[in-house]
Amino acid sequence: MILRTRNENGILIAEILLKEASLAQADQLKEEMIILIDSEPKNLLVDFTMVEYVDSSFLGAMVSSLKYAVARHTDISVINLEKDIYDLFTLIRLDKVFKIYADKAEATAELNKK
Amino acid sequence: MPSSHKILLVDDNLLVLEMMSKALDREGFRCMKADSAGQAMELLHKDTPDIILSDYDMPEVNGFVFRQQLMDNPDFRNIPFMFLTSMNNTDLMLEGINMEAIDYIIKDVPIPVIVSKITNVLNTIREQHQRSISELSLAAVALHLDSVPQQLPKVKGFKVDFWHRPFQGYPGGDFIDFIKIDERYTFIVLGDVMGKKWGAWFFSFGFLSYVRAAVRLCLYEGDLSTKSILQKINTVVYHDPVVSEVLSTLTLILVDSENSQVSYSGAGDLPLLYYNHQEGKTSHIQSAGLLLGLREEGDYDEYILKMNNDDQLFAITDGMTDFEAAGRKRSDYFSFEQGIARFLGKPDTFTAIKTSDFLAQKSREQIDDCSLIFLQKAD
């Protein structure tokens, strides 16, 4: 397992348990994300607290999980991105497809408004 | 010994584990430690070591059972494996060798001997890999399968060049193409299929074919807008189940020699770096477009840039911004910008960059395919 999940106030939070998130774990991530999305949560928060580095293959798996989620009406947001990773998300416009929040508190506040 | 080699050490004796890992760390290896086969399995799901060194004699799951578990798992089967033992028992050794363990290490042997044994194994494996790669690469060359051009295009009024290093020498997911339409128009194509090595390499041809087809279609329709071309490619990729699960970036630049201008559209690519010679300033040109195949509407836009003499433009893939320092991988676009800053605006900027410490270091620290395209307005 590379995701540790918990449910807080109706929001499913999946914490990535990796420092380096790369090609070697990309397929595993997608498998685990699909299982989570199949449980049809309205919101899924992916927590990057532990992650120091993401390569494009892992991001690819994140994005293809997102495609899977969109078809099943699950919103995926990401939280706790380190600066380098946040920059990468915005540089390649992934901020347009993932909602990015600073942390769980901000995400919960925003998501509860809806 | 390259410092990046990772060893997974498995031993229930914590003292041995600590001593071995300290000694191997000192020799420049990076050690992952597990005090049981179970813990080793957990670590393996998170990271892939270059080699596994495991004790035989462990409670619960012993070394043989652990080895069998690895062999039963296609993801772990091919990681080189060595038994670490305090016993010198020929029967046990024979049993281990039958389990495709590469060798034995007797714990009492001095550390330098252990290190040279590991180094020899890793070197032999690397040499075998390189032989296989060069054979496959030769086959690819014979079939004219190139995902990067063999020649630079001649573009009137511009200098065009590129630098490309596939990750670990494998052909990978980066692709480059120059499509010369006529004396006036040339397209520059740079893409990065998300993934590495052969899988990504295979798909890079799919994407390259789509790019070429879309360029020709738009040309036929009299529409040379990079935005229209990107939108066409995206539509096909989005609807094609074979490639829609594979994501790719794309940088598409059309050089117009007659008007000394370039038009640019991008799909999930890193910003272009533009050096304005007259002002001596650099800036980023960021497109709005999403990765190919991500959404049916990819939000593509088109940026037109008039280039004056000695203005320079760089397009890169993310391998150029990724690096490893102090045992930690990082991704930093600005480090690339800083790395080449001192070469900008020079008479022979690209030659200087190609022979620079910056690219030499990039090659050493490389953790992904690296591609860099250079365009300069010349007289």
**Three-state secondary-structure class, residue B142:** helix
Model confidence at B85: pLDDT above 90: no
**Three-state secondary-structure class, residue A21:** strand
User: Over the stretch B273-322, which tens digit does the pLDDT of each residue have?
Assistant: 999 999 999 999 999 999 998 889 999 999 999 999 999 999 999 889 98
Helix (H) or strand (E) holding B109: none
Q: Report the top-level CATH class of B6-140.
A: alpha beta
User: Residue B272: is it exposed, middle or buried by C-beta count within 10 angstroms (0-12/13-18/19+)?
Assistant: buried
Closest-CA residue of A relative to B321 is A88
Q: How far is A14 from chain B, CA to nearest CA, in Å?
A: 16
Task: Identify the CA nearest to A66 among candidates A85, A93, A84, A88.
Answer: A93
Give the integer Cα–Cα distance in Å for B20 and B36: 15
Band of the pLDDT at B172, cuts 50, 70, 90? Answer: confident
How far does chain A reach from its first CA to its final CA, in angstroms?
31
Q: How far is B321 from chain A, CA to nearest CA, in Å?
A: 10
**β B51-55/B81-85 pair status:** parallel
User: How many residues are present in chain B?
Assistant: 379
Model confidence at B229: pLDDT above 70: yes
> How remote is the C-alpha of B241 from its chain's centroid?
25
Question: Which member of A2, A20, A25 has the closest CB to residue B329?
Answer: A20
Highest average pLDDT, of A1-10, B76-85, B264-273, comes from B264-273
Q: What's the fold here for domain A3-108?
A: Transcription Regulator spoIIAA (3.30.750)
Interface test with B, best of A93, A95, A97 (most B CBs within 10 A): A93
- Whether the domain at B6-140 and the domain at B147-377 fall into the same CATH topology: no
Give the integer Cα–Cα distance in Å for B317 and B370: 6
Q: How far is B280 from chain A, CA to nearest CA, in Å?
A: 24
Residue A112: CB atoms within 10 A of its CB come to: 11
**Three-state secondary-structure class, residue B54:** strand
Provide, as residue numbers in chain A, all residues whose Cβ is less than 8 Å from the Cβ of B291.
Answer: 63, 92-93
Retrieve residue B373's tokens: 């395209």
Residues 6+ apart with CB under 8 A from B284: B271, B272, B273, B274
Alpha helices (H) in chain B, listed in sequence order:
14-26, 37-46, 63-71, 90-98, 111-142, 197-220, 226-239, 241-244, 333-341, 349-354, 357-365
The verdict on a CB contact (< 8 Å) between B195 and A2 is: no
Closest-CA residue of A relative to B327 is A20
Strand order of the sheet with strand B272-276?
Answer: B158-165, B370-377, B312-316, B272-276, B281-285
Band of the pLDDT at B1, cuts 50, 70, 90? Answer: very low
Give the residue with greater pLDDT, A85 vs A56. Answer: A85
User: Which DSSP state fits B172?
Assistant: -
Kindly report the pTM of this predicted structure.
Answer: 0.75
- Rounded to two decimals, the ipTM of the complex is 0.86
Over residues A101-107, the mean pLDDT reads 95
> What pLDDT does residue B114 have?
84
Domain boundaries, chain B: 6-140, 147-377
CATH 3.60.40.10 fits B147-377, yes or no: yes
Model confidence at B2: pLDDT above 60: no
User: Over the stretch B330-364, which tens digit does the pLDDT of each residue have?
Assistant: 888 888 999 999 999 888 999 999 999 888 888 87
Give the residue with greater pLDDT, A37 vs B145. Answer: A37
